[in-house]
Amino acid sequence: MTERFSDMPPWTDAAVLSLAALVGSYLIGQFVKRIICRRLARLTQGSLWPWEAVIVEALRKGVPFWSLLLGLYLMVGFWTMPTHVATTLTKSLFILVVLSVTFLLAEVVGKLTALYGGKIQQTLPITSLTQNITRVVIIVIGLLMILHGLGISIAPILTALGVGGLAVALALQDTLSNLFAGLYVTVSRQIRVGDYVKLESGEEGYVTDIGWRATKIRMLPNNIVLVPNAKLASAIITNYYLPDKELAVLVQVGIDYASDLAHVERVTCEVAKEVMQTIPGGVPTFEPFIRYHTFGDFSINFTVILRAKEFVDQYLITHEFVKRLHTRYQQEHITIPFPSRTIYTKHSEGSPDR
DSSP 26-92: HHHHHHIIIIIHHHHHHHHTT-S-THHHHHHHHHHHHHHHHHHHHHHHHHHHHS---HHHHHHHHHH
- Residues 164, 63 share a domain: yes
Output DSSP code: residue 180. H
HSE-CB of 207 using CA atoms within 13 angstroms:
32
Percent of the chain residues topping a pLDDT of 90? 32
More confident residue, 348 or 67: 67
**Is the predicted pLDDT of residue 174 greater than 60, yes or no?**
yes
Report the chain's mean pLDDT, rounded to a whole number.
81
348 inside domain:
no
**Interval 117-134 mean pLDDT:** 65
Minimum mean pLDDT among 56-70, 116-130, 188-202: which range?
A: 116-130
Model confidence band, residue 124 (pLDDT cutoffs 50, 70, 90):
low
Q: Distance between CA 267 and CA 258 in Å, rounded?
A: 16
Has residue 1 been placed in a domain? no
73 shares its domain with 193: no
Residue 282 carries which DSSP code? B
133 and 221 assigned to the same domain: no
Omega before 228 within 30 of 0, i.e. cis: no
Residue 144, domain member (yes or no): yes
189: domain CATH number?
2.30.30.60
Q: Are residues 52 and 126 in the same domain?
A: yes
Q: Whole domain around residue 197: which residue ranges?
A: 177-239
Per-residue pLDDT tens digits for 131-157: 777 778 888 888 877 777 777 776 666
Sequence-separated contacts (24+) of 337-340 with Cβ below 8 Å: 337/254, 337/255, 337/256, 337/298, 337/299, 338/298, 339/297, 339/298, 340/297, 340/298
Q: The CATH number of the domain where 279 resides is what? A: 3.30.70.100
pLDDT (average), residues 290-298? 92
Domain identity same for 82 and 22: yes
CA 238 – CA 219 distance, rounded (Å): 14
What would the mean pLDDT of 56-75 be, rounded to a whole number? 80
Instruction: Please check whether residue 343 lies inside any domain of the structure.
Output: no
Q: How many domains does the chain fold into?
A: 3
Does 311 have pLDDT greater than 80? Answer: yes
Contact 318, 281 (CB under 8 A): no
Which range, 25-34, 40-49, 216-225, has the best average confidence (pLDDT)? Answer: 216-225
Which pLDDT value is given to residue 217? 93
Res. 107 pLDDT band, cuts 50 70 90? confident
Does the pLDDT of residue 340 top 50, yes or no? yes
Residues 191, 165 share a domain: no
For residue 2, what pLDDT band results from cuts at 50, 70 and 90?
very low
Q: Does residue 132 sit in the same domain as residue 195?
A: no
Asked if residue 232 is part of any domain, the answer here is yes
Q: Which pLDDT score, from 0 to 100, does residue 5 have?
A: 45
Nearest to 308 by CA among 290, 288, 327: 288
Q: Is residue 198 part of a domain?
A: yes
Q: What is the pLDDT of residue 268?
A: 96
Q: What are phi and psi of 41, to 5 degrees?
A: -65, -40
Least confidently predicted of 14-23, 112-121, 219-228: 112-121
Same-domain check for residues 43 and 131: yes
Instruction: Determine contact, residues 51/115, Cβ cutoff 8 Å.
Output: yes
pLDDT at position 216, please? 93
Task: Answer whether residue 352 is part of any domain.
Answer: no
Clarify whether residues 164 and 188 are in a common domain.
no
Q: Is residue 143 domain-shared with residue 81, that is, in the same domain?
A: yes
CA 1 vs CA 5, 78, 186, 324: distances in Å: 7, 24, 76, 103
Q: Within its chain, how far is the Cα of 15 from the centroid? A: 53
Question: Last residue of a domain, which of 132, 148, 170?
Answer: 170
> Last residue of some domain: 170, 187, 205?
170
Selection from 10-14, 318-322, 338-342, 348-352 with the highest mean pLDDT: 318-322
Of 149-153, 175-179, 242-246, 289-293, minimum mean pLDDT range: 149-153
Q: Give me the pLDDT at residue 350, please.
A: 56
Mean pLDDT is highest, among 158-162, 330-334, 339-343, for 330-334
Q: So what's the pLDDT on residue 320?
A: 95
Q: Do residues 149 and 23 share a domain?
A: yes
Q: What is the mean pLDDT of residues 339-347?
A: 69
Instruction: Let me know if residue 344 belongs to a domain.
Output: no
Residue 102 · residue 159 · CB < 8 Å: no
Whole-Å CA distances, 170 to 164, 173, 230, 239, 308? 10, 6, 16, 33, 48
Same domain, 102 and 183: no
One-letter amino acid at 21 equals: A
Among 141, 170, 199, the domain-final residue is 170
Closest alpha carbon to 62 in 106, 113, 115: 106
